Amino acid sequence: MGLAMSYAAAPPPPPPTHSQTPVGLGVVLPPKTEEKVIKKVDFRNLPCPLPFEEIQREALMSLKPELFEGLRFDFTKGLNQKFSLSHSVFMGSMEVPSQSTDTIKVPTAHYEFGANFLDPKLMLVGRVLTDGRLNARVKCDLTDNLTLKVNAQLTNEPHFSQGMFNFDYKGSDFRTQFQIGNNAFYGGNYIQSVTPNLSLGGEVFWLGHQRKSGIGFAARYNTDKMVATGQVASTGVVALSYVQKVSEKVSFASDLMYNQMTRDVTASFGYDYILRQCRLRGKIDSNGVVSSFLEERLNMGVNFILSAEVDHRKKDYKFGFGMTVGE
């Protein structure tokens, strides 16, 4: 959270008129404060780390946009300050998992209705799909430090419904979380800031019905210019990621995923440009998949989305377009 807060607190990017002489502007704009003071590390006053499941947030944001195939239209209407309704239509094809290597696509279309209640203390989000799936999320601040999160997915097929309770406790320089899910899932994790830039964490989970347990460790190092994370779990997954912020608008991300069980390694490299009228994300990975995702702002609250994903090896091409109205 420390990073997000510092980002939010940063002054809005000044209009790029640096080449001008600061005759008029220099008076209006606040003088650039250089906060490059070398300060001694106060180990009793470390920043609060990010939640354990979000330590790869920057890399995921840049490398994993919501790619889709077909048409989607999202409309959000705020009824008042806290309550809003959302409507979403999707038409396109869905991939069906199959044993053979070639993918099978089935044309689908669905409509999704959602209701959101957003309050600083309480957040309620519900989504209903026409095919009978229901998704509900609750986030509730019980005290200043303790947060309860509930996540439920209900389907009309048996054994596919899921429910999860998370209790998050946020300390001054650590975070811990306890999870209870259906199928006797229990998990817990803990993350601690070690220095102002480095945080280390660990997790334990137990799947009661499958009689499986696991343990994982994670580390995250971030400065204003870069974020590097590493994660190891006893399931045999190693994930490394690195994000370099070149400027306020441009960042480059790369990640490496290694799975000991299936012996497959995937590396990917992507860019993320946040310009004034658009956000563009592109990615290429070692499986020969090239993808890009463009969100273009047409008007206030109207965004146009283009999504492209080309898998050269499987000859699987996915292109999608959509609109997002209202925010």
- Tokens matching residue 148: 């309860």
- One residue of 67, 274, 323, 325 binding another protein per CB under 8 A: 274
CB of 294 to another protein, least distance (A): 6
Smaller CB separation from another protein, 179 or 251: 251
Q: From CA 201, how far away is CA 216, in angstroms rounded?
A: 8
Whose Cβ is closer to another protein: residue 115's or residue 280's? 280
Binding to another protein, residues 280-299 (CB under 8 A) = 280, 282, 284, 288, 290-292, 294-295, 297
Task: Name the residue with tokens 């898998």.
Answer: 311
- Closer residue to another protein (CB): 78 or 230: 78
Say whether residue 267 binds another protein (CB under 8 A). Answer: no
Which tokens belong to 264? 């497959």
CB-wise, 115 or 278, nearer to another protein? 278
Closest CB 210 distance from another protein, rounded Å:
37
Site string for another protein, 206-245 (x = CB under 8 A): ----------------------------------------
In order, the DSSP letters of 77-125 are: EESSSSEEEEEEEEEEEEEE--SSSS-EEEEEEEEEEEEEEE-SSEEEE
* Minimum distance from residue 111 beta carbon to another protein (Å): 23
Site string for another protein, 11-50 (x = CB under 8 A): --x-xxx-xx---xx-------------------------
Question: Total residues contacting another protein (rule CB under 8 A)?
Answer: 33
Closer Cβ to another protein, 83 or 271, answer by number: 271
Q: Of the candidates 180, 233, 238, 278, which one interacts with another protein according to CB under 8 A? A: 278
Alpha-carbon gap, residue 22 to 83, rounded angstroms: 44
Cα distances (Å, whole numbers) of residue 136 to 86, 109, 164, 180, 201: 14, 21, 11, 16, 28
Distance CA 77, CA 84 (A): 6
Count CB-CB contacts under 10 A for residue 276: 10
Question: Is residue 275 near another protein by the rule CB under 8 A?
Answer: yes
Residue 3 as a binder of another protein (CB under 8 A): the answer is: no
Helices and strands in the chain: count of H runs, count of E runs: 3, 19
The distance of closest approach from Cβ of residue 254 to another protein in the complex, given in angstroms and rounded to an integer, is 15
Q: Does 314 bind another protein (CB under 8 A)?
A: no
Q: Which is nearer to another protein, 112 or 309 (CB)?
A: 309
The answer to whether residues 84 and 76 touch, using CB atoms and an 8 Å cutoff, is: yes
Kindly provide the b/e burial profile for residues 116-144, where b requires at least 16 CB atoms within 10 angstroms of the residue's own CB. Answer: beeeeeebbbbbbbeeebebbbbbebeee
What is the Cα–Cα distance from 205 to 182, expressed in whole angstroms?
13
173, HSE (Cβ side, Cα atoms, 13 Å): 15
**Contact of 241 with 252, CB cutoff 8 Å:** no
Is residue 69 within 8 A of residue 320, CB to CB? The reply is yes
Question: What does the alpha-carbon distance between residue 129 and residue 153 come to, in Å, rounded to a whole number?
Answer: 11
Residue 246 makes contact with another protein by CB under 8 A = no
Does position 268 interact with another protein (CB under 8 A)? The reply is no
Nearer to another protein, 48 or 305 (CB): 305
Q: Residue numbers of the site for another protein (CB under 8 A)?
A: 13, 15-17, 19-20, 24-25, 271, 273-280, 282, 284, 288, 290-292, 294-295, 297, 300, 303, 306, 308, 310, 312, 324
